[in-house]
Structure 1
Amino acid sequence: MKIEVKNLSKKYKDKMALNDVSFTLDEPKIYGLLGRNGAGKTTFMNILSGQILATSGEIRIDGENPFDNQKLTESICLIKEGNNFKKDLKVKNVLKIYSYFYPSWDQELADSLMKEYNLDLNARVKTLSKGMESALGIIVGLASKAPITVFDEPYIGLDAPSRKKFYEILLEEYQMEKRTIIFSTHLIDEVSLLFEEVLILSEGSLVMKEEADILRKSTCAVSGTIDDVERFIKGKEVIEKKQLAGMMTAYVYGDVEEAKSSGLQVEGIPIQELMIHLTERKKGA
């Protein structure tokens, strides 16, 4: 499903949560939606899923507005970091309700994930730990098989092995059946290898939209003596420089192959470091 975001803005009283954001997601991919707290990520996801209206601009999904549009909302599943389900419902009722709502629901996958996360079908949502409630959200998001599946910090309370299992299952399901997956997280280093494209928001504005492979090829960390590194980075855009005992490491935008041929030590830059840099400087790329 094609997602077109056109001059999208959302204002809450005196605060602009989103400010004239435009971009297009043309094809099923795993997208990383990144940014600091308050960048506008959750507001964007709420508008995309048809839960709130924009102040101005619009989102079109295959040419249609998702707000109050049941045909579209059946194709979009948003799992937030908490409060996804009514607290008095039993787990089995949650799964039953969502199985009715999503035409593409995969009950076999839901059953398998219930066993994986050891959830009790008869437990009420209000009795679940934070981790178990997150696991229920993950189960619903994956089993919905919604053409647009959005995860907003979906694993609060899950331990590292449980998070890793989620990433593995998500990737397996995506490879078997492509869909648009939008993943918002602060644990960027854990999941960045999943991303096929990265979008970074800062203070309501889009500061980067780029394919992850291109980012990895066009940014690098070079290390060597201060003189050698300074010589290499002259005229290049430098993200950050660090010095210690006559040695320097610089994060730069530039050709990785050129850096390797310079005789310097070359490594890739984690996407998390790029996000921090871009949101500090509020500079587009």
Structure 2
Amino acid sequence: MSLRVESVSKKYHQKQALDNISITFEKETIYGLLGRNGAGKSTLLNIINNRSFATSGSVKLAGETVTDNEAALTHIYLMSEDNLFPPQLKIKDIFKTTEGFYGSFDWSLAEQMLSDFDLDGKKTFKKLSTGYRSIAKLIVALSVPCEYIFLDEPVLGLDANHRELFYTYLIETYQERPRTFVISTHLIEEIANLLEDIIIIDQGKLIRAESIETILKNGRIVSGPKEQVERYTQSLEILGMDTLGGAVTAYVYGDLPTEKAEVQIAPLNLQTYFVQLTNRKKEK
């Protein structure tokens, strides 16, 4: 059961927030949704989860549109910065309300997470700090029975220890009950090892959708004297380039030439790949 975003565009007044986005989210996969501030990530997630409406295009789950489709929406869950839970409700009452809508809830997991995160389930949502509100929402997200879980800035306000604990729970629950996770975050280095595929949106446009394996295989940093670097990289996609005196560092993508390299070659990590793809300085 795949979830398909088909030619989705969104316009706010004169601003094009999303421009003809098409993506397929396959089942049982962990995706990273990456983009700079204002790229359109949250807008896309809100449209997928029926919290906002596309100007054009559609979102379909197993061929059925999700717009105002309660049956389809029970398979999809979005955890975001928005505080949609009634502030006066206790945390465990929020769990019960969620169970009522989705039909089931992993109480065993929720209780264990409450204990490990040192969160009192009898506290009301409004009395929680920003970090503990995020934790409460994360517990709900991991405990619902949905096949598609969307996490928009999931670790907002969490300290390093709590972030690591969440990542551990994410992987453990994914292994025990595989489903699709889509994580939108700016903490790229922290989540890189969790991801299987990435989607990069820039200025409302989809600019990349590929596997982490492909990126690590094809991305390289090539450095050395300007002439040698330019000659060696002429057949590659140049993502970006830094120059210092007569030395050049090129961020490239593609199959490396078979000729002997007279330059230094290093792997390109996910964060550097993202920064070079979306670096607007090169457009000036």
With normalisation by structure 2, the TM-score equals: 0.91
Give the Cα separation in 1 of the matches to 2:212 and 2:150: 18
Q: Which runs of 5+ in 2 are unaligned?
A: none
Alignment-mate amino acid for residue 48 of structure 2: L
> For structure 1, which segment, 84-93 or 211-220, has the greater mean C-alpha deviation from structure 2 after superposition?
84-93
Residue 277 (1) aligns with residue 276 (2): yes
Whether the 8 Å CA contact 2:26–2:180 is kept in 1: the answer is no
Give the Cα separation in 1 of the matches to 2:160 and 2:258: 37
Give the Cα separation in 2 of the matches to 1:263 and 1:142: 50
Whether the 8 Å CA contact 2:78–2:151 is kept in 1: the answer is yes
Q: CA deviation at 1:192?
A: 1.5
Alignment-mate amino acid for residue 89 of structure 1: L
| Structure 1 residues 258 and 196: alpha-carbon distance in aligned structure 2, compared to 1, 3 A threshold | farther
- Residue by residue, what CA displacement relative to the aligned partner does 1:134-176 show, whole Å, maximum 9, x if unpaired? 1101101111131000000011110011111111110111122
User: SS state of the match for residue 52, structure 1?
Assistant: coil
Aligned to 1:81: 81
> For structure 1, which segment, 243-252 or 27-36, has the greater mean C-alpha deviation from structure 2 after superposition?
243-252
Q: CA deviation at 1:256?
A: 5.5
With normalisation by structure 1, the TM-score equals: 0.91
Give the Cα separation in 1 of the matches to 2:179 and 2:104: 12
Aligned to 1:68: 68
Aligned to 1:113: 113
Q: CA deviation at 1:246?
A: 5.6
Give the Cα separation in 1 of the matches to 2:60 and 2:129: 37
Q: CA deviation at 1:245?
A: 6.9
| Structure 1 residues 62 and 282: alpha-carbon distance in aligned structure 2, compared to 1, 3 A threshold | farther
Q: How does 1:42-57 map to 2 (within 5 A)?
A: 42-57=42-57
> For structure 1, which segment, 94-103 or 140-149, has the greater mean C-alpha deviation from structure 2 after superposition?
94-103
Alignment-mate amino acid for residue 204 of structure 1: G
Alignment-mate amino acid for residue 179 of structure 1: R
Aligned to 1:222: 222
Give the Cα separation in 1 of the matches to 2:16 and 2:171: 35
Aligned to 1:188: 188
Q: Which runs of 5+ in 1 are unaligned?
A: none
User: SS state of the match for residue 50, structure 1?
Assistant: coil
Give the Cα separation in 2 of the matches to 1:88 and 1:282: 47
Whether the 8 Å CA contact 1:202–1:282 is kept in 2: the answer is no
Give the Cα separation in 1 of the matches to 2:256 and 2:177: 33
User: SS state of the match for residue 97, structure 2?
Assistant: helix
| Structure 1 residues 27 and 256: alpha-carbon distance in aligned structure 2, compared to 1, 3 A threshold | farther
Q: CA deviation at 1:3?
A: 1.1
Whether the 8 Å CA contact 1:82–1:134 is kept in 2: the answer is no
Aligned to 1:200: 200
Give the Cα separation in 2 of the matches to 1:214 and 1:130: 36
Q: How does 1:121-270 map to 2 (within 5 A)?
A: 121-244=121-244, 247-255=247-255, 258=258, 262=261, 264-270=263-269
What is the RMSD computed on CA atoms of the aligned residues? 2.2
Give the Cα separation in 1 of the matches to 2:21 and 2:174: 27
Q: How many residues align?
A: 282
Q: How does 1:22-37 map to 2 (within 5 A)?
A: 22-37=22-37
Give the Cα separation in 2 of the matches to 1:258 and 1:116: 52
| Structure 1 residues 198 and 6: alpha-carbon distance in aligned structure 2, compared to 1, 3 A threshold | same
